[in-house]
Structure 1
Amino acid sequence: MSEAGGPFDPRANAPSETGGGPATATSRPGEFEIIERYLAPLASDPGAAGLSDDAAVITAEPGTDLVVTKDALAADVHFFADDPPGSIASKVLRANLSDLAAKGATPAGYLMALALPSDWTADWLEAFVAGLADDQDRYGITLLGGDTLKASGGLTISITAFGRLPAGSIVRRSGAKPGDRVFVTGTIGDAALGLALRFEPGKASAWGLDDAMAAHLADRYLWPQPRTTAAAAVRRFASAALDVSDGLIGDLAHMASSSGVAARIGAADVPLSPAVAQASRIDPAAFEMALTGGDDFEILASVPEQSCDGFRDALTAIGVPVTEIGSIEAGEGIVVVGRDGQPMTLAGTSFSHF
Structure 2
Amino acid sequence: MGEFDLIARYFTRPATKAALGVGDDCALLQPTPGTQLAISCDMLVEGRHFFADVDPFALGHKALAVNLSDLAACGATPLAFTLALALPRADEAWLEAFSRGLLGLADAHGCELIGGDTTQGPLNICITVFGEVPVVDGKSQALLRSGARDGDDIYVSGTLGDARLALEALRGTLILPPALLAQTRQRLEQPTPRVALGQALRGVASAALDLSDGLLGDLQHILQASGVGATLDTAIASNLIAVHTHPALETGIIPSEKQLEYVLAGGDDYELAFTAPASAREAVRTASQQAGTPVTRIGRIEAERGLRLVDANGQPVPNTFSSFDHFA
In the superposition, the TM-score normalised over structure 2's length comes to 0.91
Unaligned runs of 5+ in 2: 246-250
| 8 Å contact kept, 1:246–1:292 | yes
Question: What residue number does 1:314 align with?
Answer: 287
Q: Which residue identity is paired with 1:65?
A: Q
Deviations 1:291-320 (A, max 9, x none): 101111111000011112111122123321
Question: What residue number does 1:157 align with?
Answer: 125
Aligned pair 1:210/2:177, yes or no? yes
Aligned pair 1:97/2:65, yes or no? no
Number of corresponding residues: 317
Question: Residues of 1 paired with 2:226 and 2:244: CA distance?
Answer: 30
Question: What residue number does 1:130 align with?
Answer: 100
Question: Residues of 2 paired with 1:343 and 1:156: CA distance?
Answer: 43
Question: What residue number does 1:4 align with?
Answer: none
Question: Residues of 1 paired with 2:174 and 2:201: CA distance?
Answer: 36
Q: Which residue identity is paired with 1:137?
A: D
Aligned pair 1:282/2:255, yes or no? yes
Aligned to 2:151, the other structure's residue is in SS state: coil
Question: What residue number does 2:192 align with?
Answer: 225
| 8 Å contact kept, 1:48–1:144 | no
Question: Residues of 2 paired with 1:46 and 1:131: CA distance?
Answer: 20
Question: Residues of 2 paired with 1:334 and 1:280: CA distance?
Answer: 30
Deviations 1:218-250 (A, max 9, x none): 111111011111122221200000001110111
Aligned to 1:203, the other structure's residue is in SS state: coil
Deviations 1:233-279 (A, max 9, x none): 22120000000111011111111111110011101112524426756
Aligned to 1:317, the other structure's residue is in SS state: helix
| 8 Å contact kept, 1:316–1:322 | no
| 8 Å contact kept, 2:64–2:106 | no
Question: What residue number does 2:48 align with?
Answer: 77
Aligned pair 1:197/2:154, yes or no? no
Q: Which residue identity is paired with 2:31?
A: A
Residues 235 and 349 of structure 1, relative CA distance in 2, 3 Å threshold: farther
Q: Which residue identity is paired with 2:215?
A: L
Question: What residue number does 1:170 align with?
Answer: 142
Moved more, 66-75 or 47-56: 47-56
In the superposition, the TM-score normalised over structure 1's length comes to 0.85
| 8 Å contact kept, 2:76–2:142 | yes
Deviations 1:143-163 (A, max 9, x none): 010111112xx3111111001
Which one of the candidate residues 276, 281, 288 is aligned to 1:303? 276
Matches within 5 A, 1:1-354: 29-41=1-13, 44-45=15-16, 47=18, 49-117=20-88, 119-151=89-121, 154-167=122-135, 168-200=140-172, 203-204=174-175, 209-270=176-237, 271-275=239-243, 282-339=255-312, 341-354=314-327
Question: What residue number does 1:15 align with?
Answer: none
Residues 115 and 149 of structure 1, relative CA distance in 2, 3 Å threshold: same
CA positional deviation for 1:107: 0.2
Question: Residues of 2 paired with 1:180 and 1:225: CA distance?
Answer: 26
| 8 Å contact kept, 1:217–1:275 | no
Query: What RMSD in Å do the two structures reach over aligned CA positions?
Result: 1.8
| 8 Å contact kept, 1:38–1:126 | yes
Q: Which residue identity is paired with 1:166?
A: P
| 8 Å contact kept, 2:163–2:185 | yes
Question: Residues of 2 paired with 1:218 and 1:111: CA distance?
Answer: 27
Structure whose alpha-carbon radius of gyration is higher? 1
Deviations 1:271-292 (A, max 9, x none): 5244267568634223212210
| 8 Å contact kept, 1:214–1:275 | no
Q: Which residue identity is paired with 1:351?
A: F
Residues 31 and 279 of structure 1, relative CA distance in 2, 3 Å threshold: farther
Unaligned runs of 5+ in 1: 1-28
Aligned identity (percent) is 42
